Chains A and B, each alone.
Chain A
C-alpha cells in the first residue's frame, strides 16, 4: 500500500522517470514495471542513455561514453577491452549491474563492457554516489558509482534475426527469440556470434606514419537466455571468445608483429532475482575462465607464457523494505559472496574470499523533501594457500564502513540534490596475491565523495520538454592503491600511498520535441564534465563534452553523437612526451524501417580523427558498419 503511494508521489514529482521517454511513450512505463526499474524510489538523480543510442550502437562503450562524468577506457578496435570509470575514481569503484545484479571480477575488478551486446538491453542508467532507492542490494550501498543495464522487456512473441558487419572484416549474425507461455511464463533467448579480422589502419601522428593494427582478430559466441514470471527473473549467460591482443604501438623493426599474444575467455553466469514490494532476493553463480598466452613462433621475442585463471563466484543477497510510517521506510539488506581464483601458475596463492555486506538505510519522504541516511558495512575474509604451511590466515580480514547521507528537495521546477558518502575499493586478488606484484598487507583504498546538484525540469509545454542540471562534486581519495617498483623494475609491488583531491562539475542539457502524436521527435542532449584534481591524474581530461542528437521522422531515424576530450597525461607529470592530444570524434547513424525490416548504416569517426584513450592503443579511424534486421 505504502509503495503505491510512494510511487505516486515520485511520479508526480517527475522523479521516477527522469527522462521524457516515460512521458512520451506509455510503453516505457510498462517496460519499467516489468524490468523492475520502476520499483526504485530514486533520490539521487541519475542519467539515462537515450534509448535510440542503445538501439543501434555497435557496443556498450559507444553508449556509456555519452554520460557526463563518466570516462571510458577503450583499447580500440573490435576486441579491445572497454571499462568505465566514474568521476575519475577508477573502474574498481564502478559497479556494473545487469538487471539489478552486479557483474563481478574479483581478480582485477574490471568489467569489460565489450562482452555484452547493446541489443540485449532496453535501458542504461548511471548513478554517481547512490541512487538511494528501495530494495537495493547491500553492495549497492557501498559503490561510488553504478551503471545499470536493463534487459529488453518481453511484451510479445517475437523473433529477430540480425546481421551486422562492415569494418574490421566483421560479420556478426544474431538471433533473438522471445515468447510468453501460459501462466505468465516468459522467455527470451539470444545467440550472437562475431567474427572479425580486426585489422584497421591508424596514423602515428608523431612520426607521420600510417600503420595497421595486426593480431586483432576475434571470434566470439554469446548466449543469453532469460526466463521470468511475475516477480521472478532468471538470466543465463555464456560467452566464449578467442582473440588476438594487438599490443601497444611501439617501435619495432619493419615487418615484426607488435604482439602475437592470444586471449581466450569463457564466462558463464546464472542469476536470479525475486522481487515484490517488500522483499528482494538476488542470487548468482558465475564462472570465468581466462587464458593468456604468447606465441614465440610468431613473435620471436615473446617469453613463452600460457597462464590460465579460473574464477568462481557465488553471491546471495536479501533486501527488505519496511515502511514504518507514511514518511519513513527502513531499508535493510545483507549480501554474502564467495570468490575463488584458481590458476596454473607455480607458487600461486589460490585465494578464497568470503565477502559480506550489511546495510541499513532510512528513507524519509516528505512533501518536498526526501532524504536517506544509510550505514553500510563490508568485510572480506581471505584465505590463501602458501607453499610451506598450506592454508594461511595471514592478513586475512579487511573491513570498511560506508555511511552516506542523501537528500533531495523540490522548489518549484527546481530539484536540489546533495549527497555525502564514504566508499572504499577493496584490494583485488591481483593487488594482493599476483606473483611478484601483490602485497598481502594492503588496506582498502578510501574515498569520500560529496555532491551538490540542481536540476531544472520543465513540465511538458505542449510537445517540448527541457531538462538542465548542474552538479558539483568533490572526491577525496586516501591510501590509493598504487603499483610501485621496488629495488628492481622486475619486482613491482602494491602500496597504499596515493592521495587525490578531485573537484569537478558536470552539466547536462536535454531537449525533446515531439510531434505527430509523439511518433516523430527530436531529442538533443548535451553534457559537459569538468574535473580538476589537485595533481594530474593519469588519463583524466580536465574538460569533456558530449552531444547526442536523435531524430525520428516516420520510418527514418537519424542519430549523431559527438564526443570531445581535452588533453590527458599518461602520468602525473605534465611533460609533452606523456601527453595525449585532445580529440573530437563524431558518429552518425541512419536507420530505416520498412515493414518487418530495419536497415542501418553507421559511419563512425566521421572526421577520421586520430585519438587514443590509452597510450599505445590507437582508436580506429573513419569506418562503416551496416546492420540488417528482420523481426516477426
Chain B
C-alpha cells in the first residue's frame, strides 16, 4: 500500500506549521466570532486534539436561476458544521449571496466570492461571514491576488455582435477598492494565477465551438496580454508553485480527448512534455495545497461513460516543484460516501482529506472527511447546499 505523498510530508510539516499558529507558547489561541451563535450540526466526536485551522469554508454554487448560492463552514473548535452562514449573518442583504457562486479565495482575513449569475464579486469577513463590499463584474469566474490587485476572470469581454465573444480579465485595485479596467483574454476564461511578473489565465472555451486551448499570459506592469500558450482543450484550473512551474487542468472535450493535467514552464512560456505518470491523470476536481506545494487531482477514466453512474475515481498528488505523481484509487469508505466528487480540500497538517459530493443534483451535496488511511473521519457526512464545489481552510491572521 502506497501512502499518500502528502500525508507523509504532512507529519513532518505539522510541527513547524502549528508552531506558527500558536503565538502564545503552548496555549491555543481562543477565537471568538459573531457567528458562534449560529446553530450547526455536530459531525465529529469529542474534541479535536490538534487544531491547525479554525474553519473549513464550503461554498455551494447552487443551481442556475435559483439564487441559492450559499456559504457553509465546518468549525474545528467545536466540530460543528454550519449551513447558510452568509445569509444568516447578512439577513438584510437583498438577494442573499446570489445565484451560482463560482470561486472562493481567502485574502488575509477577507474571503472573496465570485457570484457568476449575479455579476458580483462579494467580499466578506472570513471570521464572521459579514458583508464587506461587493464589486460589479459581469459573469465573474475566478480570483487571484498579487499584493496590489485582485484579478478576476470573466466570461464577458466586449461584445461586437455575432456568436463569439472573448472573455476578460478584470483588475480590482485593492488600495482604492475600485474596478481598475479589464483586458480581453481567450474564450470563457476560468482559472487565474499569479507567478512572477505575470498573470496566467486558463481559457476553457466552454461556449465556443471546439473549445479554447490557450493559457493567456498577462504582463502585470502593463496589464496587457503578451502571449498565448496552447495547451489542451477546455482548460479550467491553473496553479503555480510560486517559483517556476504552472499546473493547468484540461477538462477534455467530453468526447474523445480525456481530461488531464499539463505543466507549463513560466520562464520559457512552454508546455513541459507530459511524463508517463502525468499522462494517466484524469482531472475533474483539483485542489492546490500551498503548504506542501502539492497539486491534488481527482478524476476518473470513465469520464466518457455517461451510462455509468458509479464511476471509479482516483486521487492523484503532483508535487508542484518536482512533478512527481502518485496515485491512489478511492477507498471503500470513499466510494461509499462519494458518488460524484465535486470539490476537495486537504489539511496537510492533520492529513485530512475533505471531499464534497454533488450527488445526483436533485438533493443538496454533502461534505465528508477522510483520515490519512482514507477512512471516514467524521461521524457522519455533513449536508451542504447544491454543488458544494469550493473549499478553503482558514486560520485568522493577526490584524
Contacts and interface: CB of A to CB of B under 8 A. Distances in A.
B363 A572 contact: yes
A244 B284 CA distance: 36
A86 B153 CA distance: 45
B360 A204 contact: no
Most buried by B among A484, A491, A538: A484
B224 to A, nearest CB: 22
B254 A436 contact: yes
Interface stretch (A89-97, A293-301, A620-628): A293-301
A208 B162 CA distance: 40
A497 interface: yes
A251 B358 contact: no
Interface string A605-627: 00000000001100000000000
Interface in A411-447: 436, 439, 441
A571 B165 CA distance: 34
Contacts of B79: none
Interface in B163-212: 163-165, 206-207, 209
A433 to B, nearest CB: 13
B98 A296 contact: no
B356 interface: no
Given A301-B119, A489-B61, A296 B358 contact: no
A578 B362 CA distance: 11
A490 B61 CA distance: 12
Interface in A240-265: 247-253, 256
B68 A490 contact: no
Nearest to B285: A487
22 contacts: A204-B95, A207-B92, A208-B92, A209-B94, A249-B67, A250-B99, A253-B118, A253-B119, A304-B163, A305-B163, A439-B307, A485-B387, A486-B306, A487-B311, A489-B61, A493-B306, A495-B360, A497-B309, A498-B362, A571-B362, A577-B84, A616-B67
Contact of A251 (B83, B92, B99): B99
A306 interface: yes
Given A204-B94, A302-B156, 12 more contacts: A250-B99, A250-B117, A251-B94, A296-B159, A300-B156, A301-B119, A301-B139, A301-B155, A484-B309, A487-B299, A573-B363, A573-B383
B361 A251 contact: no
A253 B284 CA distance: 32
A603 interface: no
B156 A616 contact: no
A439 B65 contact: no
Given A346-B209, A572-B363, A616-B65, A252 B156 contact: no
Contact of B389 (A439, A489, A578): A489
The 8 closest A-B pairs by CB, nearest first: A251-B95, A251-B98, A301-B138, A248-B65, A250-B99, A487-B284, A301-B139, A250-B67
Q: How would you classify the secondary structure of chain B's contact residues: helix, strand, loop or mixed?
A: loop
B251 interface: yes
A488 B340 CA distance: 9
A570 interface: yes
B115 interface: yes
Interface in A495-511: 495, 497-498
Contacts of B93: 207
A252 B119 contact: yes
Contacts of A338: none
A256 B119 contact: yes
B398 interface: no
Contacts of B307: 439, 441
Contact of A297 (B159, B342, B360, B385): B159
Contacts of B292: none
Interface of A: 204, 206-209, 247-253, 256, 296-297, 300-306, 346, 436, 439, 441, 482-493, 495, 497-498, 538, 570-573, 575, 577-578, 615-616
B66 A615 contact: yes
B65 A488 contact: no
A572 B207 CA distance: 30
Q: Which of A206, A483, A487, A490 has the most CB of B within 10 A?
A: A487
Contacts of B300: 487
A251 B364 contact: no
B283 to A, nearest CB: 9
Interface string B83-104: 1100100001111111100000
Contacts of A300: 119, 138, 156, 159
How large, as a class, is the contact surface on chain B?
A: 35 or more
B120 A251 contact: yes
Nearest to B259: A487
Nearest to B102: A489
A573 B386 CA distance: 11
B67 A251 contact: yes
Contacts of A495: 309, 360
B70 interface: yes
B361 A485 contact: yes
A252 B118 contact: yes
Contacts of A482: 360, 362
A304 B61 contact: no
A44 B128 CA distance: 61
B155 A303 contact: yes
Contact of B207 (A204, A206, A208, A303): A303
Interface string B131-152: 0001010110000000000000
B68 A577 contact: yes
Main secondary structure of the interface of A (DSSP, over half): loop
Interface string B248-267: 00010010000100000000
B95 A575 contact: no
Contacts of B83: 575
B67 A248 contact: yes
Nearest to B155: A303
Given A250-B67, A304-B163, A482-B362, A487 B340 contact: yes
B303 interface: yes
Contacts of A493: 306
A58 to B, nearest CB: 26
A68 B34 CA distance: 49
A403 to B, nearest CB: 29
Contact of B387 (A209, A489, A573): A489
Nearest to A297: B159
A486 B364 contact: no
Contacts of B164: 304
Nearest to A249: B67
Contacts of A488: 251, 284
B156 A301 contact: yes
Nearest to A204: B94
Nearest to B140: A301
Contact of B358 (A252, A436, A441, A489): A489
A255 to B, nearest CB: 10
A439 B306 contact: yes
A346 to B, nearest CB: 5
A346 B155 CA distance: 21
Contacts of B118: 250-253
B99 A571 contact: no
Interface string B56-87: 00000100011110100000000000011001
A304 B213 CA distance: 20
Given A301-B138, A484-B360, A253 B163 contact: no
B306 A441 contact: yes
Given A301-B156, A306-B163, A487-B300, A252 B95 contact: yes
Interface in B265-316: 284, 299-300, 303, 306-307, 309, 311
Contacts of A616: 65-67
Given A207-B95, A441-B307, A485 B163 contact: no
Contacts of A247: 65
Contacts of B306: 439, 441, 486, 493
A81 to B, nearest CB: 14
Contacts of B70: 577
Given A251-B67, A304-B162, A489-B387, A571 B364 contact: yes
A296 B156 contact: yes
